[in-house]
Structure 1
Amino acid sequence: MKNIYKKIVCLFALGLTFASCENYLDDAPKGSKIPTTLADYEAFLRDEYTNHRVNITGASQLLNDQYVTLATLSSDRLINANYMWDQNADRIALKVSDETTYYAGYQAISTFNLIIENALNTTNATEAEKRIVWAEAKVLRAMNYFNLVNFYADTYVASTATTKLSVPLITSANINAPSKQVTIQELYDFILNDVKEALPYLPKVSQTVLHPNLGTGYAFYARVFLQMNNYTEALKYADLALAENNKLYDWIAFYNSNKTLIETPGNYTTFVSPMGYNYVENYNYRHGAIDYLTTENSIPVERAQRFEAGDARFLSRWKTYTVGAETYFRRTLSGAFNFGGITTVEVYLIKAECLARDNKISDALAVLNTVRKTRILPVSYQDISTTDKTTALKAIYRTKNNELVNTLIPFADARRLNAEGVYPVSFSKVASGTTYTLPSNSHMWTMPFPQGAVKNPGNGTITQNVAK
């Protein structure tokens, strides 16, 4: 990890070649520039292809939120283990190559560490301007650590968080900085503190959608507190976030505008994704597994069946497709997809869950139905109405999983619910006459570190958080 961290620190895109480590700043290579002004450092926040990649492919495959072809299942044993829920597979042994989830995550953390260390001492800017960039980097660093801990470590449980290990915590861009694998509690405390320090300086309107604003800070706080089962604080910050932005995209209007092509059998003409940089639901934007103009994942038939009837968002994005012996739902959108940032719909559903947890069922369902009215076609729509807490929460989880499919959140939520044990998440499917299951207590809900990270952990050590 030290070698790759050195490369991350000392070489960046944007035409800026530098190192904050050791004495490399003594001389600037010909044609390169040493960052000194705030604008130099702020430019790193705009490097979306390096610093805004949130790859959670392994989690999507485990949830079967992403269709995997028979050819890939035959050729890639690690993907096969996750997708087919092979409880006996040694995923540690199979993870022989480096993994984008880990290295892209720490690559971005290195950038944010560099900004945090230097932004307040830059030139050509006011103190207020420096604080904004510093605060934006703080939020983004916290977001990356949240993603990593909810992929490579067990979920947060208060009774065990002080003893279970999480991921390496690195707070400096210096290549000789210590790399300490802290406890889950220590890492969550660090994440919360980063956001706490950033909130007073975040602008209400950011320079670009890549830059976190005040709404982003509140929304992310709500996400973290929910993962910690602190429903009071999660609700508080969900309300604050929605006060900054409460817009929902009208997927029914999108469907109606493209209805002819959508409903034409066998027509897989792709439409431009509305979920890109200008999506009205964005608090901030970050790429998912793929960080360039592309199409999104296709999904299995079984996964498609979990969407509500008349879901315009689903109907606008996927259509059944058969090739040879394989049938799945093929994607029909191309462009940009905000799979790594935070959107208003997530915050609406955080609020709905928190209200339901507090037995305010009618209020919770009012929030849920506010979302559904922008998604479910009128011919299929009915308000969800119940006085039963379990029924209400299951409806909230169903909508949330469908809304945030192929993001980290359904995976993180499932782990949280499984640890709680009241609303456990498990899966079952039949393939070629064989039944496969993923139980709620499976070790597979925690992903192993890649071998390269364990063998070369930098200035520290890494202990696997899962047996296999």
Structure 2
Amino acid sequence: MATADLIMYSDFISIYNSIHMKHQILKYIILGFIATSAVSCNDYLNILPKGQKMPVTYADFEPLLRDEYTVHHTRTTQSTILLNDRFVSSANLNYYRLWDANYFWRENSDRIELNNADEDTYYQSYASISTCNLIIANGDKMTESSEQQRKELVATAKVIRALNYYILANYYAATYDAATSASLKSVPLILSADVGAPHTQVSIEELYQFMISEIANSLPDLPTTGLTVLHPGQGAAHALLARIYLQMGNYPLALQQAEKALSINDKLFNWLNYHEQNKSRIESPLDYTLKETPVDHSYVENYYFRHGNDASSYRTTEYALRVDRASGFEDGDAKFLSRWKLRTVGPDTYYTSTMTGYHNLQGLTTVEVYLIKAEALARSGKVDEALTALNAVRKTRILADKYADLQTSDAAQAIKWIQRTKQNELIFSIMPFADIRRLNKEDTYKRTFNKTEVGANYQLSPTSHLWIMPIPQGALDNPGNGNIEQNVSK
């Protein structure tokens, strides 16, 4: 096959988007067709525009990591709904039965069956992984590039791949527990872009060790900051390691990695200044004019940008908040006040989004790292230092007339304060769900959710099976060259 003609990435995307999400995982590794010798030239021409061939040069491969919809986009819709972090209308609850099951904590619902209507988190993550696999597999074959460029691109892809696996592990499998993680299944570990390559559904322990090794091995080849905000550099890698170690309960290493990340970028956005500059609009109760979000690609807190709730190809508002969820923000939280406003439409009252644009909901940011550092310090008994890190964040969020340093000598109380800020700062990402699952293992922090809706009481216990999302039935029925077991009963 000649290599003079080049496949354009837009052609791949159109091919990718034409495949139905319910088919087997490995159909989402269609990008692998362009790099594997297992497919003949005639097979290539069956799926690609005639006259176009496979990528060869660094300049061909590098743009693959710039596609925001395929590589840098993950919804975690059901975890957000389970937490009741967003307002969902009765019309949507009536239409989306899986949403209803999670929103009302219906333990008897068969979410495995209902999940056929909502498989995006699974397949979107593996689509991103497939692109990373393609680049990693071809790292030493790219032409017209320096060795440093090739190594850097491969290292970047490895960090993104690890982040995808973190999301998958904390959505579709039990939370990490040293006592059980070697025996419990996680998700399929796919390392090849070849559509026919075998894969294994590894244990939770194996997947976590893979992520750690993947990132650690990438660090020497990463620049301090990435080529773009879509290319994680060393700061993002250290931030992701800090997140992983915190999830594992390894607080010394979480602290070490957090400090390394903050040594690269420790900037915090000043929401007090933003609130002051937009005060008249923010405080006008009937002004619902949408303002461009500052939490975009250029946000000073970014290590790595990743889209969340909606497609990355267009600007969007954030989810609306339930009134009871909005009450969980601190009084005088300028970031909250700048993003949502109370509104009543017909029978529904909620906090509607007042910002539009591209939101870094699933990426890596300095504020998360500050709060990882704070918890790691509190866990080691350094409560004063933990509160210094927490208050550093709060000083850029809480209006001056409402602000006071939080002070305590009680590590448990400090961690609860840290978690309050973290749940609010990272709302709509995977992290509130991951953190609550982690903390539900500890009597001091485990939490039972309660609510009353239309005269009925609902409860979500810390031991409920609802804390694990079911792997899509389509993946179980069409596992490709491997076997997949469901991780939850229903």
TM range (shorter): over 0.9
The separation in 2 between residues aligned to 1:327 and 1:206, in whole angstroms, is 42
The separation in 2 between residues aligned to 1:397 and 1:439, in whole angstroms, is 18
5+ residue gaps, structure 1, are none
The separation in 2 between residues aligned to 1:366 and 1:343, in whole angstroms, is 18
The separation in 1 between residues aligned to 2:84 and 2:238, in whole angstroms, is 30
Displacement of 1:94 after TM fit? 1.4
2:184 is equivalent to residue 164 of structure 1: yes
Deviations 1:184-236 (CA, angstroms, capped at 9, x unpaired): 01111111111011011110132110001010010000000000000000000
Does the Cα contact within 8 Å between 2:412 and 2:444 map onto a contact in 1?
A: no
Does the Cα contact within 8 Å between 2:24 and 2:480 map onto a contact in 1?
A: no
Q: Secondary structure at the match of 1:95?
A: helix
The separation in 1 between residues aligned to 2:26 and 2:451, in whole angstroms, is 44
Q: Structure 1: which amino acid aligns with 2:34?
A: F
The separation in 2 between residues aligned to 1:362 and 1:384, in whole angstroms, is 10
Deviations 1:256-305 (CA, angstroms, capped at 9, x unpaired): 11110111111111110001100000001011021231111001001000
Q: Are residues 7 and 93 of structure 1, via their aligned partners in 2, closer, same or farther at CA, if it must alter by over 3 Å?
A: closer
The separation in 2 between residues aligned to 1:401 and 1:387, in whole angstroms, is 22
2:277 is equivalent to residue 273 of structure 1: no
Alignment equivalent of 1:440, drawn from 459, 462, 474 = 462
2:112 is equivalent to residue 96 of structure 1: no
The separation in 1 between residues aligned to 2:445 and 2:142, in whole angstroms, is 50
Q: Structure 2: which amino acid aligns with 1:23?
A: V
Instruction: Name the stretch that deviates more: 99-108 or 285-294.
Output: 285-294
Q: Are residues 318 and 21 of structure 1, via their aligned partners in 2, closer, same or farther at CA, if it must alter by over 3 Å?
A: farther
Displacement of 1:9 after TM fit? 3.4
Displacement of 1:5 after TM fit? 4.7
Partner of 1:458: 480
Partner of 1:417: 439
Displacement of 1:402 after TM fit? 0.4
Does the Cα contact within 8 Å between 1:5 and 1:110 map onto a contact in 2?
A: no
Q: Are residues 175 and 147 of structure 1, via their aligned partners in 2, closer, same or farther at CA, if it must alter by over 3 Å?
A: same
Alignment equivalent of 1:296, drawn from 309, 318, 342 = 318
2:375 is equivalent to residue 359 of structure 1: no
Q: Secondary structure at the match of 1:55?
A: coil
2:344 is equivalent to residue 322 of structure 1: yes
Pairwise mapping of residues 104-115 of structure 1 onto structure 2 (< 5 A)?
Answer: 104-115=124-135
Q: Structure 2: which amino acid aligns with 1:181?
A: Q
Q: Structure 1: which amino acid aligns with 2:415?
A: L
Does the Cα contact within 8 Å between 1:120 and 1:134 map onto a contact in 2?
A: no
TM-score by length of 1: 0.96
The separation in 2 between residues aligned to 1:76 and 1:21, in whole angstroms, is 43
Deviations 1:141-176 (CA, angstroms, capped at 9, x unpaired): 000001001000000001101100000111100011
The separation in 1 between residues aligned to 2:118 and 2:398, in whole angstroms, is 41
Q: Structure 2: which amino acid aligns with 1:343?
A: T
Alignment equivalent of 2:52, drawn from 32, 41, 59 = 32
Partner of 1:373: 395
The separation in 2 between residues aligned to 1:127 and 1:92, in whole angstroms, is 46
Instruction: Name the stretch that deviates more: 289-298 or 408-417.
Output: 289-298
Q: Secondary structure at the match of 2:344?
A: strand
Displacement of 1:7 after TM fit? 4.4
The separation in 2 between residues aligned to 1:128 and 1:119, in whole angstroms, is 11
Alignment equivalent of 2:425, drawn from 380, 383, 403 = 403
Q: Are residues 379 and 2 of structure 1, via their aligned partners in 2, closer, same or farther at CA, if it must alter by over 3 Å?
A: closer
Partner of 1:286: 306
Pairwise mapping of residues 43-82 of structure 1 onto structure 2 (< 5 A)?
Answer: 43-82=63-102
Alignment equivalent of 2:240, drawn from 190, 213, 220 = 220
Q: Secondary structure at the match of 1:283?
A: strand
The separation in 1 between residues aligned to 2:443 and 2:55, in whole angstroms, is 50
5+ residue gaps, structure 2, are 1-20
2:247 is equivalent to residue 231 of structure 1: no
The separation in 2 between residues aligned to 1:413 and 1:341, in whole angstroms, is 16
Q: Secondary structure at the match of 1:121?
A: coil
Partner of 2:13: none
Does the Cα contact within 8 Å between 1:153 and 1:167 map onto a contact in 2?
A: yes
The separation in 1 between residues aligned to 2:85 and 2:103, in whole angstroms, is 9
Deviations 1:332-356 (CA, angstroms, capped at 9, x unpaired): 1000110111000000000000000
Partner of 1:382: 404
- Cα root mean square deviation, aligned: 1.6
The separation in 1 between residues aligned to 2:338 and 2:218, in whole angstroms, is 38
Instruction: Name the stretch that deviates more: 30-39 or 243-252.
Output: 30-39
Q: Structure 1: which amino acid aligns with 2:233?
A: N
The separation in 2 between residues aligned to 1:326 and 1:55, in whole angstroms, is 25
Does the Cα contact within 8 Å between 2:343 and 2:350 map onto a contact in 1?
A: yes
Q: Secondary structure at the match of 2:80?
A: helix
Q: Are residues 98 and 261 of structure 1, via their aligned partners in 2, closer, same or farther at CA, if it must alter by over 3 Å?
A: closer
Displacement of 1:3 after TM fit? 5.6
The separation in 2 between residues aligned to 1:303 and 1:24, in whole angstroms, is 55
2:262 is equivalent to residue 246 of structure 1: no
2:203 is equivalent to residue 183 of structure 1: yes
Deviations 1:359-407 (CA, angstroms, capped at 9, x unpaired): 1111000100000000000011011011111111110000000000001
Displacement of 1:6 after TM fit? 5.1
Does the Cα contact within 8 Å between 1:120 and 1:130 map onto a contact in 2?
A: yes
Displacement of 1:4 after TM fit? 5.0
Q: Structure 2: which amino acid aligns with 1:157?
A: D
Q: Secondary structure at the match of 2:441?
A: helix
Does the Cα contact within 8 Å between 1:67 and 1:299 map onto a contact in 2?
A: yes
Q: Are residues 11 and 237 of structure 1, via their aligned partners in 2, closer, same or farther at CA, if it must alter by over 3 Å?
A: closer
2:126 is equivalent to residue 126 of structure 1: no
Displacement of 1:8 after TM fit? 3.4
Does the Cα contact within 8 Å between 1:20 and 1:114 map onto a contact in 2?
A: no
Displacement of 1:426 after TM fit? 2.4
2:39 is equivalent to residue 23 of structure 1: yes
The separation in 1 between residues aligned to 2:245 and 2:443, in whole angstroms, is 18
The separation in 1 between residues aligned to 2:40 and 2:118, in whole angstroms, is 27
Instruction: Name the stretch that deviates more: 109-118 or 416-425.
Output: 416-425
Alignment equivalent of 1:259, drawn from 279, 283, 300 = 279
Does the Cα contact within 8 Å between 2:189 and 2:199 map onto a contact in 1?
A: yes
Does the Cα contact within 8 Å between 1:2 and 1:458 map onto a contact in 2?
A: no
Q: Are residues 2 and 65 of structure 1, via their aligned partners in 2, closer, same or farther at CA, if it must alter by over 3 Å?
A: closer
Deviations 1:22-58 (CA, angstroms, capped at 9, x unpaired): 1245766534241111121111110111111111000
Deviations 1:442-468 (CA, angstroms, capped at 9, x unpaired): 111110011111111111121111111
Partner of 2:173: 153
Q: Are residues 2 and 257 of structure 1, via their aligned partners in 2, closer, same or farther at CA, if it must alter by over 3 Å?
A: closer
Pairwise mapping of residues 188-203 of structure 1 onto structure 2 (< 5 A)?
Answer: 188-203=208-223
